[in-house]
Amino acid sequence: MREITLSKAVNEAIAEEMRRDPTIFLIGEDVAEAGTPFKVLSGLVEEFGPERIIDTPISEPGFMGMAVGAAMTGSRPIVDLMFGDFLFLVMDQLCNQAAKTHYMSGGKLKVPLVLRTNLGATRRSAAQHSQSLHALVAHIPGLKVAMPSSAYEAKGLLKTAIRDDNPVVIFEDKLMYQDKALVPEEEYLIPFGQAAILREGTDVTLVGTSSMVGVCRKAAEMLEADGISAEVIDPRTIVPLDEATILDSVRKTSRAIVVDEGHQSYGVTAEIASRISEKAFYHLDAPVQRMGAMDVPVPFSPALEDLTVPTPEGVADRARRLVRGEI
């Protein structure tokens, strides 16, 4: 085990898979010499050359369509979408073509494609570069959606995604690229649909996604000082979702808070909370709580932007009131 950044973990996963399989190539804007604006892919073009690390014009629909066609005809493309906000530009290629081709061809065609992109506010990037749009693609049958919460998850989930014969969208939090975690030197994969229990507890279950996993863990530490035992769960993938682990936890603790950085309305918090309410109703001592981003365009102003997403303090306060029967 060694401690590396999330950025390094992503880079390693791609390099290892490209060495293993010559049909893999990576395509996107500023992915070669620039290594993306976040420098995640630095050094890959030097090893694999511009034929496999391919810089594109600023035409997201164009290179996404090329990748879908390549996936249907024997390649395994990785598409780098510079900002998650640009998903709106590739929705036809992703949702009408990649997601549906296997079904509409009667299983004769497959689309082994990975779309890497990001999410997350509080980077002062304003409303068009700060959105968390994972619920948008999770709504589309035929797409798998992964959300790593650390360098360990980032590498293991990405390697699994690259080997999957289905289209996968993987979201990395923009603010976490320099965060470090312990990552094995030997090869490992993290199966989709297998949540991680990061902290065991008895009083309340905190389910967090991506960056909100860290928020939940910090909230759990605050609650411990008050004598409240919080269990923290990282689903890792929201499609497929490990329902069983979440429900087992809630049946034990009898209370749950779901925390996600996407907008709260019609999002991931609503879906997970509804499943808990439907399938663990008689085990609940209080209504399931949801904490997501405010339903507003993300402000550029730091003072305003910081108010739009859940914080450890906010989650801890909600959990205290839930356990004390104030909600």
Residues counted in the chain:
327
* Rounded-to-integer distance, Cα 310 and Cα 262, Å: 10
DSSP per-residue string spanning 34-59: T--TT-TTTTHHHHH-TTTEEE--S-
* Rounded-to-integer distance, Cα 261 and Cα 269, Å: 9
Contact 185, 1 (CB under 8 A): yes
Rg (CA), the chain: 20
* Rounded-to-integer distance, Cα 59 and Cα 95, Å: 17
Beta bridge partners, 156, equal none
Beta bridge partners, 168, equal 114, 144
Tell me the backbone φ, ψ of residue 196, rounded to 5 degrees: -115, 130
Q: Which residue reads 């079904």 in tokens? A: 103
| Helices and strands (H, E) in the chain, number of each type | 12, 14
Which is nearest to 56 in space by CA: 87, 90, 31?
31
Q: Taken in order 290, 135, 74, 24, is the CA torsion positive or negative?
A: negative
Give the three-state DSSP class for 24: strand
Catalytic residues: 60, 129
